[in-house]
Amino acid sequence: MSDFWRDKRVCVTGGGGFLGSFVVEELKRRGAQHIFVPRKKDYNLVHHEAVVRLLEDSKPDIIIHLAANVGGIGANRKNPATFFYDNLMMGVQLMHEAWRFGVKKFVAIGTVCAYPKFTPVPFKEEDLWNGYPEETNAPYGLAKKMLLVQAQAYRQQYGFNAIYLLPANLYGPRDNFDLETSHVIPALIRKFTTARDEGRDEVVLWGDGSPSREFLYVEDAARGILDAAEKYDGPEPVNMGTGREVRIRDLANMIAEMVGYKGRIVWDTTKPNGQPRRALDTSRAKAYFGWEATTPLEEGLKRTIAWWEEHKHEILARERQL
């Protein structure tokens, strides 16, 4: 329980989504009593009038902006304009109107996709502007990166308290397991469990398996976001991750073994790899608001696999109805 949240009105955009659902749970655990979660059907934040109406209806002291239109490499390649426009418009309008409305604090969630393609590992926050992002997700990454520019500009000109956090690739229970739009961990879990259940002797994966990624368990991310909201009021962007770099090839082997898939893994090298390496320097988060990730990858994967195994039949049934 934290007295910080007890009398605060908190608006969590994207609060019905994957990360957002855990942030809302953590808010309740910390004693928040006034939480507003806008739904897209009621407040499409791409549209200005919906943003204004949201602020009038929720009257927030703090906004935690998690809402995003996001997907994996395939979705990014198919929808670069949509991802750019939707994410840019949501963020720019929401922060501007939040300042006009007198919101006391704005917590903006960026993306590791904002980093330049060939950033030296581990990624340090000061490297953010040293090159262009990896091409397949640059439109999304740059749209989210504008939140940092806006946060710093509004702080400088208006004294607006907006902070900007850069989480590593998230995963965990309740993740998006749709193969068209999912990220790598839920996609691998679904592919390997499906192949196991159907007795297939091979699974085809994109790329050559050489890129590396860093994965942050969703409950650790939720805790870090709220720690930052409570304790951090500065202009600098802050990475949130584990500091552990994992090659996709090794991750695939790990998940295949965990789910009991015995067949071959075939790498389709005609498909893109995405960014070559990703791993974050997380020292700033510890120094600025005392946060560190605590869930080892193996433990987080076990929990995520267990959730999928328990819920996959209802998810697959829903998909068949669409």
Residues forming the active site: 140
The token pair at 298 is 């193996």
Count the alpha carbons within 13 Å of 216 in the hemisphere toward its beta carbon: 28
Local structure of 267: helix, strand or coil: strand
DSSP per position, 82-96: HHHHHHHHHHHHHHH
CB 52 within 8 A of CB 94: no
The token pair at 200 is 């297939």
Peptide bond preceding 237 in cis form (omega within 30 of 0): no
Can you tell me the distance from the alpha carbon of 296 to that of 102, in angstroms, rounded to the nearest whole number? 40
CB 26 within 8 A of CB 67: no
Q: Which helix (H) or strand (E) holds 42?
A: none
What burial class does residue 238 get, using C-beta atoms within 10 Å of its C-beta: 0-12 exposed, 13-18 middle, 19+ buried? buried
Can you tell me the distance from the alpha carbon of 137 to that of 127, in angstroms, rounded to the nearest whole number? 18
Can you tell me the distance from the alpha carbon of 77 to that of 83, in angstroms, rounded to the nearest whole number? 10
Q: Which helix (H) or strand (E) holds 172?
A: none
Among 197, 171, 179, residue whose Cα is nearest residue 309: 197
CB 230 within 8 A of CB 32: no
Can you tell me the distance from the alpha carbon of 168 to that of 224, in angstroms, rounded to the nearest whole number? 12
